[in-house]
Structure 1
């Protein structure tokens, strides 16, 4: 048993050996006849009549498959299945099939039939409990029906036998209707074999499929544990993980994890209450959400909530889903833009029509705007689509693709104009990792779920090194953090102040077409959190990232004050502040009516004075002096 420890440390989970599987061994004498008959009816009705391979079964399967023009039935005996699972690789080759047949005959020559059946019943894979495999009928009885195998009813026994063909496909936790259909097929096969009377069959067919309910080992951070179980195998050699007595120290902060789970459930419930159109009866169709909380500089994952209810769905929407980021992708466009432009550079916010593969594309702003010429800072803060596309076309779409690829997004990115508006799919964890670059002075760390592993003597085991890369300069990262701070002070996230977020925060909202996805990503130098809200099937949620995801983020932050401070980034040496004209974005002079301070890369400070406004001439200066003297004399 390998305990997994969090900072503290508090035990949050135990792994069950290197195979990540759990089983409860049972004797053949503990297995009820109904389950034995159900397994034989489903998998090998002539088990007690053949000697490892069954020519009659092979011919029957061949005939059935030819008649249907598809693979409907297999010809493998229980002994062949055991040989394949226990001794051979899963490759589908003729040589492996021959070896399987030879091994089956050898096994039958060495062992009694009941011994073979007992081994099979304890070895067969029957489902998945998160990252842990369910093997054997003993463990399956507990997992699906919360009872020992000897107390299984006839319908329950047939259900377990029906799982062998496809444990996750026919699981009662995945699809009860499909599970019942498969169970009934097994029951009818038992009846044909004479193991059930017609009355028993009729009663069993009418029984409901009623699993006990998904139980979580330890009941703590199950989505995080699943991610950890996969990540640890990439960081440590298999031979090391095979050792007993290892302690795995995770990055998880249970206070943050609990706060994230509560904030998500509270936020989703509020959305459903506010809009009845978001309510769904079926558990698998309910409104969903996900949260990831990280330390930007280390990559440590403090909390991971991959969905609303792990018992209902073990699909991790942080690490496994692919969703369009919408406006949450825009910071990558603006970072690319800093190569040629500045936060004060002017962008066109006018409607335009673009030609894409012979078709016209007319992007629109989310809300109408009478501002047709805006700065880069304002365009990002207010999430103007038209200005963002204008910037993207000026700098070149290929450059944005290169930036995105460099940030280690694994999903395909194409140089289409709609890329600027986040019209492609991303994995939420990868989006959070991208924002960490802005929060960590331009460095990108690897998302880590564990800090280290120690053996039973407390010795630290050597871990595979995960690179921390510089993806942009600290100067550009600082400017991006500053521009994203404007999202909270003058842009789409101004409501944060009304939700108790009074400290400095950089952030971005995101909403996709037809309101399918709502995003909010916010960070400080110490912490970053991403929130996603949407339906798994892509139904509209009828609202924006600022209305759906932002409140959840704010609620979470307000409940973890230990990670909140007034700390902000120090201006790097490569960044300077200068006064510019708010209308032209160029160096201001005394004729500019509304000058403002802006930050720039040292080499990008405007050297040209504003051409829009008239510089004061000699007469203007004289009149100004006269006016000043007159005012002074009056005083």
Structure 2
């Protein structure tokens, strides 16, 4: 029987061989058809990248050396004694030398630049290009990469080309993972046999025999199934890829595909992304120990994770360095320096998933209107935002810590908060927090919680008075008396001051800075409730507000974002700029798809805006926010507290020269908290500014204003220098030609003299 079978095989050997080879060839052609479209085309769906704002500064700008160093640290620049490479900086007494990276900004490509920045008296005095010896009027750094909108696959990668990768990295990869990479045909039989013997000897799997090409096939095309069938398919596909593509193309694909760890729910694939995730810098700036760390992790990205198991990761790193040294890829000095260097990894905040959910919510909402097709939002776009990540982190720290402290001290169970910070000049949102537990996703109080704003409405009330300068000036006396009204249904309304007292008369300025309710109600009634509503609309409130008398006590429900828009217009000298979080969108190949329109509109009288900002500055010196002025005595700030009935909502709006913050603290269920604007929200603002480098207010004295002099008790105009007189900015067209002299006689007012430079009122008012 056996003889007959053997004879049959001998007789049919060649036909069977031809059939077998035909089948194998057909299967290889099938595999080639399967591989080619994917390997030759776009192998990966790359997520959209979300960038923070780029730090930009100019000569004569008031920005500290520390602020720029903080930005450089955030961007992963290395501090050195001498700067020779891109991504490095050196610190001098009043200077910084920086080798700035190249970057594709929304408005075009900026090449790498070797610069020196110098300071004099707290301002930048010079920016010089050290390669050309030219002076630069302005400089900006590349924006920080906040996060990436990963598609449904949950795989994240940052594509790199082979020429971007340090040569020593590819050499280390080949030495550690596949020494015969350049000589085998995709499969290494000797390596497989060696691994098989080692595993049999150890009684467990201690060595793998797969080539880089096989590993790439397994990751790109196959499942994790452990079977001989899958291994055979893997080997055949590796042969096809090796036959069709160059070793360089295979190596580049491997560098972009290999799994190197986990970022929350997202898998980190490729050395390009791993470089940013573990070291906060691009791959071409990695040093030898960092390269060895990443290559060493390939054996077990979780087991050798340098954040979770630093000792284990360092041992593995040093083994990779030893392999390179033994192979003469690095010299003795480089080897010793590398193994003796500490294992340094980034904090992990770069590209961290789930961070800054309120701000990202705003970005997502804006993108939904900017990009009609939702699929395009995950196709490698570059989204440039207005986020200042340093301000965001400091605001998060201030809000979460202070709210928790207040809740603990006052035994308040469910105290919550929201905070929005904007750039006054541009309207860019620099920070947004929608929950006191800052990384909580879900209900975004900064956008969606509408709460009564209380006394924050008062600048809109007094705007309508001060725009009638013949009737009202800051020195005008207002009634602080009981008011009783009935609504159409006969319901009695009797507003009260917070202290339940009546002062009889009070100066308009003092009524605002001390947040007296009754004078504000009377002014609102006298100037028209409808005009208050119109002013709110002019300031940027874009939804209907009922024109009811209660509006004069802040019975207007707004979000922290809406409050910020309202005060941003006021702080910007009456110039309205829509608040926004997205500034530009680029295609994957850096073509501009969309850019924020630099729209602005003068919504309110600049002269009245100046008077109101002057009063808001006084709030921090003499009024309800004087604790803020005492805390930052050398810096001119402005602000307004807001407290609602029964102390249910605590509000504060504060601003320096550049940034405006709106803060709400309260209970989601509208329960009483016992917090005023100054005891709650203002404390958050003080904690925030304590971490910042606040800039003193500076306001141009608009034409049509002058310094006028008034009787402190009656508000009547007086000559300058009389006992009992006060000096205040005033709209010229509303002033009388005849004023009181010091002895009470009516005299002709002297012609206004333009203030000399650095006069006493310019020192007092010119910094507002």
- Is the Cα–Cα contact under 8 Å of residues 324 and 424 in structure 1 kept in the other structure? yes
Q: 2:548 maps to which residue?
A: 416
Deviations 1:456-512 (A, max 9, x none): 222222336363221112212111110111111111001113433531111100000
Matched, 1:364 2:492: no
Gaps of 5+ in 2: 1-46, 54-141, 156-261, 267-350, 748-768
Q: 1:398 maps to which residue?
A: 530
SS in 2 for 1:447: coil
Give the 3 Å change call, closer, same or farther, for CA 591–406 of structure 1 in structure 2: closer
SS in 1 for 2:557: coil
SS in 2 for 1:504: coil
SS in 1 for 2:451: coil
Give the 3 Å change call, closer, same or farther, for CA 235–373 of structure 1 in structure 2: same
Aligned-partner Cα distance in 1 for 2:358–2:735: 47
Report deviation, 1:610. 5.4
Q: 1:3 maps to which residue?
A: 49
Q: 1:325 maps to which residue?
A: 453
Matched, 1:352 2:486: no
Report deviation, 1:22. 6.9
Select 2:744's aligned residue among 596, 615, 618. Answer: 615
Q: 2:368 maps to which residue?
A: 233
SS in 2 for 1:461: strand
Q: 1:587 maps to which residue?
A: 717
Q: 1:629 maps to which residue?
A: none
Q: 1:452 maps to which residue?
A: 584
- Is the Cα–Cα contact under 8 Å of residues 620 and 637 in structure 2 kept in the other structure? yes
Matched, 1:273 2:408: yes
Report deviation, 1:289. 0.5
- Is the Cα–Cα contact under 8 Å of residues 264 and 353 in structure 2 kept in the other structure? no
Report deviation, 1:586. 1.9
Q: 2:384 maps to which residue?
A: 249
Aligned-partner Cα distance in 1 for 2:440–2:617: 37
Give the 3 Å change call, closer, same or farther, for CA 275–217 of structure 1 in structure 2: same
Deviations 1:298-350 (A, max 9, x none): 01111111111256552111111100000011111111222222211211011
Select 2:691's aligned residue among 559, 569, 578. Answer: 559
Select 2:574's aligned residue among 408, 421, 442. Answer: 442
Give the 3 Å change call, closer, same or farther, for CA 394–593 of structure 1 in structure 2: farther
- Is the Cα–Cα contact under 8 Å of residues 517 and 532 in structure 1 kept in the other structure? yes
Give the 3 Å change call, closer, same or farther, for CA 412–343 of structure 1 in structure 2: same
Report deviation, 1:145. 12
Matched, 1:548 2:677: no
Matches within 5 A, 1:82-481: 218-238=353-373, 241=376, 244-276=379-411, 278-279=412-413, 286-309=414-437, 312=440, 314-340=442-468, 341-357=472-488, 358-369=490-501, 371-463=503-595, 465=597, 467-481=599-613
Q: 1:105 maps to which residue?
A: none
> In proportion to residue count, which structure has more strand?
2
Q: 2:13 maps to which residue?
A: none
Q: 1:570 maps to which residue?
A: 700
Gaps of 5+ in 1: 25-141, 147-215, 280-285, 619-635
- Is the Cα–Cα contact under 8 Å of residues 587 and 607 in structure 1 kept in the other structure? no
SS in 2 for 1:387: helix
Aligned-partner Cα distance in 2 for 1:591–1:144: 68
- Is the Cα–Cα contact under 8 Å of residues 235 and 463 in structure 1 kept in the other structure? no
Report deviation, 1:233. 2.4
Q: 1:625 maps to which residue?
A: none
Report deviation, 1:453. 1.4
Q: 2:5 maps to which residue?
A: none
SS in 2 for 1:456: coil
Deviations 1:252-294 (A, max 9, x none): 1111111001101111122122211x02xxxxxx210011111
Aligned-partner Cα distance in 1 for 2:378–2:629: 51
Q: 1:533 maps to which residue?
A: 665
Q: Which has the higher contact order (CA 8 A, sep 6+)?
A: 1
Give the 3 Å change call, closer, same or farther, for CA 240–598 of structure 1 in structure 2: farther
SS in 1 for 2:716: coil
Aligned-partner Cα distance in 2 for 1:524–1:144: 37
Report deviation, 1:404. 1.6
Deviations 1:103-122 (A, max 9, x none): xxxxxxxxxxxxxxxxxxxx
- Is the Cα–Cα contact under 8 Å of residues 480 and 506 in structure 2 kept in the other structure? yes
SS in 2 for 1:318: helix
- Is the Cα–Cα contact under 8 Å of residues 434 and 443 in structure 2 kept in the other structure? yes
Aligned-partner Cα distance in 1 for 2:729–2:672: 39
Aligned-partner Cα distance in 1 for 2:450–2:631: 30
- Is the Cα–Cα contact under 8 Å of residues 538 and 603 in structure 2 kept in the other structure? yes
- Is the Cα–Cα contact under 8 Å of residues 439 and 524 in structure 1 kept in the other structure? no
- Number of matched pairs: 420
Q: 1:92 maps to which residue?
A: none
Give the 3 Å change call, closer, same or farther, for CA 400–144 of structure 1 in structure 2: same
Aligned-partner Cα distance in 2 for 1:508–1:259: 21
Q: 2:158 maps to which residue?
A: none
Give the 3 Å change call, closer, same or farther, for CA 218–407 of structure 1 in structure 2: same
Q: 1:89 maps to which residue?
A: none
Using the TM superposition, name which of 251-260 and 359-368 deviates more: 359-368
SS in 2 for 1:485: helix
Q: 1:125 maps to which residue?
A: none
